[in-house]
Amino acid sequence: MSDQILWFAARGAGVVALLLFTATTVLGILTTTRWGTAGWPRFLTAELHRNLSLLSLAFLAVHIVTAIADPFTSLGIAAAIVPFASSYRPVWVAIGVVALDLLLALIVTSLLRPRIGQGLWRAVHWTAYAAWPLALAHGLGAGTDAFSTWLLAVQAGCILAVALAIGWRLWAGGSNRERLPDVVAAGRRPGATPYVRRDR
Amino acid sequence: MAARILAGPPLDAGPESLRDHLARLGPRPNARAAIKELEASGLLGRGGAGFPAGTKWRTVAARGGGDARVLANGAEGEPLSAKDRALMTLRPHLVLDGALLAASAVGAAEVVLYVGAEHRHARSALSRAIGERAATRGGLPVPVTIVDAPTAYVAGEETAAVHFVNDRDARPTAVPPRPFEAGVDGRPTLVQNVETLACAALVARRGAAWYRERGSGTTPGTTLITVTGGSSPGVREIDLGTTVADVAGMAGARLAETSAVLLGGYFGGWAPAADAWEIALDPAALRERGRTLGAGVIAFLPAGQCGVRATARIIAYMAAQSAAQCGPCVFGLRAIGDTLERIAVGTGRSGDLARLDRWGRQLPGRGACRHPDGAAGHLASALDAFGEEFRLHAATGRCSAGAAGRAA
Amino acid sequence: MIPRRRLHVDRIRCDGYGMCAELLPELIDLDDWGYPILRADVVPREFEGLARKAVEVCPVLALRLTAEPRRTPTPIARPAPASRSGS
B300: β partners: B261
CB contact (8 A) between residue C74 and residue B377: yes
Q: Mind giving me the DSSP string for B228-243?
A: ESSSS-EEEEEETT-B
Model pLDDT, residue C87 = 34
Spatial neighbors of A130 by CB under 8 A, at least 6 apart, are A102
Model pLDDT, residue C1 = 59
- Residue-wise pLDDT tens for chain B (408 aa)? 788 999 989 888 999 999 999 999 988 888 889 999 999 999 999 999 899 999 999 999 999 999 999 999 999 999 999 999 999 999 999 999 999 999 999 999 999 999 999 999 999 999 999 999 999 988 999 999 999 999 999 999 999 999 999 999 999 999 889 999 999 999 999 999 999 999 999 999 999 999 999 988 789 999 999 999 989 999 999 999 999 999 999 999 999 999 999 999 998 999 999 999 999 999 988 988 889 999 999 999 999 899 999 999 999 999 999 999 999 999 999 999 999 999 999 888 889 999 999 999 999 999 999 999 999 999 999 999 999 999 999 988 888 875 444 555
Among A41, A118, A176, beta carbon nearest to C22: A41
Mutate to test the interface with C, among A111, A198, A199 (most CBs of C within 10 A): A198
Q: Does residue C42 sit at the A interface (CB-CB below 8 Å)? A: no
Spatial neighbors of C49 by CB under 8 A, at least 6 apart, are none
Model pLDDT, residue A1 = 52
On whether the CB atoms of residues B91 and B2 are closer than 8 A, the answer is no
Provide the pLDDT confidence category of residue A86 given band limits of 50, 70 and 90: confident
Q: Is the pTM above the cut of 0.80?
A: yes
Model pLDDT, residue C81 = 46
Cα distance from C85 to chain A (closest Cα, Å)? 34
Q: What element of type H or E holds B109?
A: strand B108-116
Q: Does residue C50 sit at the A interface (CB-CB below 8 Å)? A: no
Q: Does residue B325 sit at the A interface (CB-CB below 8 Å)? A: yes
For residues B398 and B395, what is the distance between their CA atoms, to the nearest angstrom?
8
| Residue C78 DSSP one-character state | -
Spatial neighbors of A45 by CB under 8 A, at least 6 apart, are A27, A30, A31, A35, A36
Instruction: Please name the amino acid found at residue A115.
Output: R
CB contact (8 A) between residue C59 and residue A31: yes
Chains that touch C (3 or more CB pairs under 8 A): A, B
Cα distance from C84 to chain A (closest Cα, Å)? 32
Model pLDDT, residue A199 = 31
For residues B208 and B211, what is the distance between their CA atoms, to the nearest angstrom?
5
User: What are the pLDDT digits (tens) for A2-43?
Assistant: 668 888 888 899 999 999 999 999 999 999 999 999 899 999
On whether the CB atoms of residues B285 and B218 are closer than 8 A, the answer is yes
Picking from B281, B280, B292, B299, the residue whose alpha carbon sits closest to that of residue B233 is B299
SS3 content of chain C, % helix, strand, coil (to 5): 20, 15, 60
On whether the CB atoms of residues B231 and B123 are closer than 8 A, the answer is no
User: What are the pLDDT digits (tens) for A164-193?
Assistant: 999 999 998 878 888 899 999 887 654 433
Model pLDDT, residue B404 = 42
Rounded mean pLDDT of C51-76?
81
Picking from B79, B61, B314, B296, the residue whose alpha carbon sits closest to that of residue B193 is B296
User: What are the pLDDT digits (tens) for A46-77?
Assistant: 999 999 999 999 999 999 999 888 777 777 77
- CA distances (Å), origin B378, targets B70, B265, C18: 31, 9, 29
Among C13, C37, C86, beta carbon nearest to B366: C37
- CA distances (Å), origin B250, targets A118, B253, B265, B269: 56, 8, 18, 21
